[in-house]
Structure 1
Amino acid sequence: MKKNIIFLINPISGGKSKLNFAAMAAKFLDGSIFDAKYVFTDGPGHAREMAIELVKGNADILVAVGGDGTINEVASGIQGSGKVMGIIPHGSGNGLARSLGISLNDRFAVETLNKLNVNQIDTGIFNGKNFFNMAGIGFDAHISAIFANNVTRGLSGYVKTAINEISNYQCQHYTLEIDGKRIARDAFMISIANSSQFGNNAHISPFASLKDGLLDVVITKPFPLYQFPVLGFQMFSRSTHRSKYVEIIKGKDIRIIREGLGAIHLDGEPYEMASELQININPLSLSVLV
């Protein structure tokens, strides 16, 4: 019996047109395995709404065609349903797809679906909301809030925004409780890493694993401005763990108290949340084709 596979396509992710995506995918998707449908999202939150409804029906596999934000929405709708997710990366950074080894080439990514190789990965919960790749507090959340409205997508747009904002950004004081151990830190940012990277192969926590049942709490401490390009180089060379400005603590049950409400990001999508933040891991809770 053929599997019902539905592609949920974000038409604007990554700044590339998806109008010809269905015709391309149909060439390389194995028609002896799948009955395929293609639907477009029409705004923030729509992919999640559609995924919730589709898993109630006869859909076997839902494929997110977009970036980490689109993947977050589709995965949030699938999680706990017993259904399987596929990924065709079409975002600015494609952090989760890169971490899973999914090709950024459309043809190869579609052909990956034909193999029906299902893996289970961990997922994170942040004040009741899901994240699958990376969450953050501090500078990266501040940049995500600005970048969300930036017409210049991709790595160059992100770097340009970061350079423009860094000189005026003020570090904050945080109290963290990680698996019962309480610490206090001043921090430039705190990243909660399920995978190792933000995207574009910028690895904030080089040894983070999607399958170890743990989240990596990455505390980037205050640093001199001249060290900013050094930290950038260390991310791209997978060596942030060697920096004296970076502290990495693994944990399952994480509580963070900051000075007041402010920005956070979940898989690059910005939100505003209160001063007290609760983060947990849900081990091997999402099935993904890789």
Structure 2
Amino acid sequence: MKHIHFIVNPVSGSGNQLINKKFLSKFFDEVDYAITIKNSEYKKHAKTLTKLSIAEGAHIIVACGGDGTINEVASCLVNTTIPLGIIPLGSGNGLASNLKIPKEVAQAIALIKKASVKKIDVGRINEHYFFSNTGIGIDAQVIRHYENSNERKLISYLKSSLKALKTIKYKNEITVEVNGETIRTYPFLVFVSNSNEMGYKISLTPSASLQDGLLDVLIVSKMSKLKSLYFGCLILLKKPHLIKESKFYQSKAIKISQENQGIFESQIDGEFFNIASNVLNISLLEKSLQVIY
């Protein structure tokens, strides 16, 4: 008998989730499967629930939610033999889209039952894991505004982007060390990506791969508000490299440091984080997560 645990964020996306015992019984018979459902109730609760499921001997653990929920569940499964299943219920669903996991729940469940497992790379920023991307600068501020909004739709994301552009300030100089090069800059953006999509089909690193053993790094220096709007148009065209302020790298490790601040405002897989440090050490763990897709 296969024991499958579902970690569900009941407020993901529209908040009208159908992942319950009655619904899942249509897909999983009681002879071959033992199904457990756990609902997360607050930020980081999914981590606690996943650790319990590991202790309880789950064979597969399924994250049901958006990229934030997936991050919490997957972070507990790095370098284990337990595969991650995904039912994308969020608004952006960047990682699921990159993996071509369908948004239609029944189709996502069919993949889980098939249980074809592949290994993907995992990023790490200090003590945190990321699976899609992490960044400081404008993307972190967009996420901060987005989390403070009441909607989880593309229009809310676009409104949050405009708010971030209006209020961006270049107060802190940082140093980025990558591939033997040292860059000192007032950053508009430092974006480090393991996958080729942020969500909503938006991409800053369209050539990134979850299995190439490299992180894609985009560094964009201070620019005028007018030029930042132009940059936004280039993002929609998937051509962010076409401005002189941008530099692109592929690397296994990146170090970002600053003086006299003590906190980096960042985003990790679409969730806003204050990281209490003057240094961000970002690295790659090759093929260290097993995923069903």
Answer yes or no: is the 8 Å Cα contact 2:145–2:163 preserved in 1.
no
- 2:266: which partner in 1? 264
- 2:198: which partner in 1? 198
- Does 1:100 pair with 2:117? no
- 1:45: which partner in 2? 44
What secondary structure sits across from 2:148 in the alignment? coil
What secondary structure sits across from 1:78 in the alignment? coil
Quote the Cα distance in structure 2 between the aligned partners of 1:45 and 1:67.
Answer: 13
Quote the Cα distance in structure 2 between the aligned partners of 1:242 and 1:25.
Answer: 47
What TM-score results when the alignment is normalised by the length of structure 1? Answer: 0.92
Answer yes or no: is the 8 Å Cα contact 1:205–1:241 preserved in 2.
no
- 1:132: which partner in 2? 131
Alignment of 1:70-219 (within 5 A): 70-171=69-170, 172-219=172-219
Quote the Cα distance in structure 2 between the aligned partners of 1:183 and 1:198.
Answer: 25
The residue type equivalent to 1:185 in the other structure is T
Q: Deviations over 1:14-39 (max 9, x none)?
A: 13212555433332347665322222
Quote the Cα distance in structure 1 between the aligned partners of 2:88 and 2:255.
Answer: 32
What TM-score results when the alignment is normalised by the length of structure 2? Answer: 0.91
Quote the Cα distance in structure 1 between the aligned partners of 2:159 and 2:118.
Answer: 36
Where in structure 1 are there 5+ consecutive unaligned residues? none
- Does 1:255 pair with 2:258? no
Flag the 1:123–1:6 CA change in 2: closer, same or farther, 3 A.
same
Q: Deviations over 1:99-155 (max 9, x none)?
A: 111111111111111221101011111111111111110111122223222211122
Moved over 4 A (4+): 19-22, 29-33
Q: Deviations over 1:48-70 (max 9, x none)?
A: 11111211222010000000100
How many matched pairs? 289
Quote the Cα distance in structure 2 between the aligned partners of 1:211 and 1:227.
Answer: 34
Flag the 1:9–1:223 CA change in 2: closer, same or farther, 3 A.
same
